[in-house]
Amino acid sequence: MQQKFKRGGFLLSKLEFDKLRIDLWVSGTADKEGNGGYCALLYCNMLGRPYIKTLGGYGSNTTVTRMTLKAVIAGLRAIKQKAFIHIYTQIPQVSSGLNKYIYEWSKNNWKRKDGGELQHADLWQEIYDLLQQKSLHYKVHYQKESPNPDYNLVVIHRSSEYAMRAKKTLKEVVLP
């Protein structure tokens, strides 16, 4: 007998439900000079088969939090249809920001509760907009230990590789 799940008044088979779930592992890194990299790994089941996609990038004059937020954005942009999204991060600011504060910040014109400037407001706002477009529901999991340590290691390693590209790119720039 096929397992069934109830979501929003509809009864879905496990296969149908799995099509609507996306797991997103994110990592960002930055060195003391401000060169950073990020990586996002998306995992889902398509027609009963696992599908994995990795994305990444790099930047300069950045922070670990900013790079991790960029990874979230890259992952969300890659999602083609609304889904139940589970985001896994090792950065507590990203987890608490998305789980607790993002709706408060949006109502407060992207300012902190005390009226002060919100760090990375541009990225928080973009994530908020993407979540409105792409998620049926989302949850951010802050964990030192990932439910799938292999995927967690992939994003950590790849974000470091991208940070090295940032450093290399900056060294290769020749000024006239």
CA 22 to chain CA mean position, Å: 11
d(CA 98, CA 121): 12
| pLDDT at position 168 | 73
pLDDT category at 47 given cuts 50, 70, 90 is confident
d(CA 38, CA 146): 17
Topology classification of domain 14-169: Nucleotidyltransferase; domain 5 (3.30.420)
Given a cut of 80, whether residue 163 has pLDDT beyond it is yes
Using pLDDT thresholds of 50, 70 and 90, give the confidence band for residue 2.
very low
Report the sign of the C-alpha dihedral through residues 113, 95, 28, 23, in that order.
negative
- Over residues 131-159, the pLDDT tens digits come to 999 999 999 998 776 566 788 889 989 99
CA-CA distance, 128 to 103, in Å (whole number)?
A: 8
For residue range 86-104, list pLDDT tens digits in order. 999 999 999 999 999 999 9
Q: Tokens 């006239």 sit at which residue?
A: 176
